[in-house]
A = this chain, B = another copy of it.
Amino acid sequence: MICPLNRNPLNPSFVDEVERSFAQQPVMNLIGASLSLVEPGVVEITLPSRADLAQQDGYVHAGVITTIADSACGYAAYSLMPAGSNVLSVEFKVNMLRPARGVTFIARAEVIKAGRTLTVVRADVFGIAENAERELVATMLATMLCLQT
């Protein structure tokens, strides 16, 4: 990151909170995604490729790539929010850069700007080949909303 970001988590149990919330997203179970990294302002979600996630050419559907990128962005934002918050996706934009091929996909989200109400997050989604080479298949720029519950 070019810009210094205050990544001091306001909620000391943010890792537990992210894991608990992630476990409550049934769609992650449906597509087979799991949480692979939770740090202040940074979250990674891993998705093994599967034939039933594909679009018409056999690549993973852009909507599935978006699903893991959006959740990664949401939890990266959530990791910096105060206890008792909820996070909602306001909007996101995704560029599909290459066909989504790989044996596994990793969506890595990093907070760019954490605000009291709005948090802006960037995510890159990589396809990992059998030989462990990474290819950037998509990038997301997202806005997340903090709701006090």
Q: Given A118-B145, A143-B143: A52 and B66 within 8 A (CB)?
A: no
Bitwise interface map of A from 63 to 106 toward B, beta carbon under 8 Å scored 1, else 0: 11011111100000000000000101111111111100000000
- The reply to whether B94 and A91 contact each other, CB–CB distance below 8 Å, is yes
Cα of A122 to Cα of B97 in the assembled complex, Å? 13
Say yes or no for A30: interface residue by CB 8 A criterion.
yes
Q: Which of B2, B63, B89, B95 contacts A91 (CB 8 A)?
A: B95
Whether A130 is near chain B, meaning CB under 8 Å from some CB there, is no
Q: By the criterion CB–CB under 8 Å, are A53 and B26 in contact?
A: yes
Are B52's CB and A26's CB within 8 A? yes
Cβ contact within 8 Å between A96 and B90: yes
Interface of A toward B, CB cutoff 8 Å: 2-3, 21-22, 24-27, 29-31, 51-57, 61-64, 66-71, 86, 88-98, 108, 112-113, 117-118, 120, 122, 124, 126, 134-136, 139, 141, 143, 145
